[in-house]
Amino acid sequence: MALTTLQCKSGAVRISQLSEETGVPVATVKYYLREGLLPPGERTAANQASYGTAHVERLRLIRALVEVGGVPLAGVKAVLASLEQPPGTLHDLLGTVQDAITPRPQRAGGPDWDDARADVARLVEDLGWQIRRDAPALDQLTDVLLAYRAVTGADLDPGACFGAAARTAAELAAAEVPNVTGEGPAETARNLVVGTVLGGRAFDVLRRLAHEDVSSRLLGSAPGGDGMTHNK
């Protein structure tokens, strides 16, 4: 908090100050340096280096992705690589970022999984969405559908499970995507990463809060007070 932007810009910041400024422990900063997530600082003495604004910004982005977004370090690395050398179109960048932050599904394979995967492909087709056939997000949705089926013991149709949410997601995406464009390529790319990861996290929390609000209006009355209490 104490550092001014000027001090950062002058590049005269040491690793302890970098840590203080970003809230990332020194040991973690060193780890990120070793792993190549942070570019090396400017060497100022045999065992001393100084860091600039770019390091502060990079660290804050890493921290947001890891701590709030829950993105694994390998995914963060891939995201940062795509920010350094962005693909030709914003659409390609979006694909790269999504794939980087989308963990591999844990249960892929087997006849149940293949059936569910085909059902998900059909859902996307019915929605008329233009999605790459091998998008990892399709595998993730397959995982969720399989989990629904396992928990309920029913051969749930993905349209019944996800149809309403898909239409809401489409509305949200139509509002969000055009807003991603920033003042330059770097800002646009950062907006895309932040919008995808933090925006997703924000929506999940807002959805839970909205559940609480709706529930307090519909279901919050005393037990037996209406038909919606569940254990009278």
Nearer to a second copy, 16 or 221 (CB): 221
* d(C-alpha 195, C-alpha 193), whole Å: 6
Consecutive H or E run containing 48: strand 48-50
Q: What share of the chain is helix, strand, coil (3-state, %, to 5)?
A: 65, 5, 30
Nearer to a second copy, 42 or 204 (CB): 204
Nearer to a second copy, 45 or 134 (CB): 134
Nearer to a second copy, 48 or 125 (CB): 125
- Minimum CB distance to a second copy, residue 48 (Å): 26
- Minimum CB distance to a second copy, residue 156 (Å): 11
Neighbours of 37 (CB within 10 A): 20
- Minimum CB distance to a second copy, residue 14 (Å): 20
- Minimum CB distance to a second copy, residue 102 (Å): 7
Angstrom distances, CA of residue 203 to CA of 39, 53, 159, 195, 208: 32, 30, 22, 11, 9
Token output for 216: 């307090």
